[in-house]
Every structure is written in C-alpha cells, then in structure tokens.
Homo-oligomer: A and B are copies of this chain.
Amino acid sequence: MKELPLSGVYRFLEPGPVVLLTTSRQGRANIMTMSWHMMVEFEPPLVACVISDANYSFAALRATRECVLAVPAVKLASKIVKIGNSSGRDVDKFATFGLTPRPASRVSPPLVAECFANFECRVVDTRLVNRYNLFVLEVLKAWTDPAQKHPKTIHHHGYGKFIVDGETIRLRSGKP
C-alpha cells in the first residue's frame, strides 16, 4: 500500500461508494458495510457517517473512537453484501469472508488488504451521535493500492441492488 496525501481523500469518498468500516475492541476486529457517509472538509479530511445503533460496530466506534474506512472495488461485491448481512456479534467476519486485516499505523482497527483505499480515522465530534447516530471522523492517514488500476466501485440502491461505476466524463471545472 502506498501513502496517499490527505488532500486526495475526498476524491474517493465524495462519489458515494459503498465502503467498509473496521473497528477493534478488546482485541477483536470487526467490519461492517456502510453507505451513509459524506465529506465534511477537504484537509484535514473530515468525514461524517451514520451507523445504526443496532450494529455491533456502533458501540465499538463510540467506545474506542477509532475506525478505518476501506473502499472496495466491485470484485468484492458478494463479500460486501455478506458482511452487511451478518453481525460481528456472531462471527469473525475477516475469517469468515476471507478478508485480510493489516495493521494500521495510527489507529488500532485494521486496514483491509483487499480494498484499494484505506483511511485511518479517529472520531472528532460526537454531538450528533445520541440524536442521529452521526459521527464526524478525521482521516489521519490514507493509503491506496497501486496494483489496483481504475477500480470500479458500487453504489447501493437498496435491497441488494447496486449500480457499478460506468464511463468517465470530463468537463471544464476548476473546482476540487
């Protein structure tokens, strides 16, 4: 994995892909599937996300205040769905679904080796957690996998329907 300048993080999350979120609590790593996230600031990169308090990851994130956001390509789609349809209460999802945890440098939760981007995050604002389960994260360190060229992501439309990235268009704009 190659380090990505923090100013480049928004380009991976702003398009709204399905992402994975890892946590680690009492020595147990877990992983969930998530689509409710958005950029909040370019640099340092801030990201907001909403995680149902029914999810096992919710309590871990609130208690440890650390996570990794990992961006999977379409080839991982069937694993992404299985991760979303199971709970870390019941299974070790890394082992069950054949994903590889890699140590992160700034946080305890692991990177996901199979994902083409991994962002190490800490929780920086919990004011909207009680009301909306909304966390504000700061990305501390960012990694990409240079071996995955032009990975296509997936976008969730509900009940297992996903749209895969299609063609690229380029228009004149000076806006990041």
- Please, how many angstroms separate the alpha-carbon atoms of A131 and B127 in the complex? 11
A155 CA to B74 CA, complexed, in Å: 16
Q: Are A158 and B14 in touch, CB under 8 angstroms? A: yes
Complex formed: what's the CA distance from A135 to B165 in Å? Answer: 28
A94 interface residue, CB < 8 Å from B?
no
Measured CB to CB, the nearest residue on chain B to A46 is: B132
- Complex partner residue of A168 from B35, B50, B163, CB under 8 angstroms: B163
A30 and B15 CA atoms in complex are apart in Å by: 24
Contacts A161-B170, A166-B163, A166-B167: A50 and B77 contacting too (C-beta < 8 A)?
A: no
Q: Are A48 and B38 in contact (CB under 8 A)?
A: yes
A residues within 8 Å of B by Cβ?
10-11, 14-17, 35-41, 46, 48-50, 74, 77-78, 81, 84-85, 125, 127-128, 131-132, 134, 136, 152, 154-176
Q: A36-B40, A40-B50 are in contact. Are A169 and B154 (CB under 8 A)?
A: yes
CB distance from A25 to the nearest CB of B (A): 23
The 8 listed contacts between A and B (C-beta, < 8 Å) are A14-B156, A14-B158, A15-B35, A36-B38, A38-B49, A125-B132, A155-B165, A160-B173
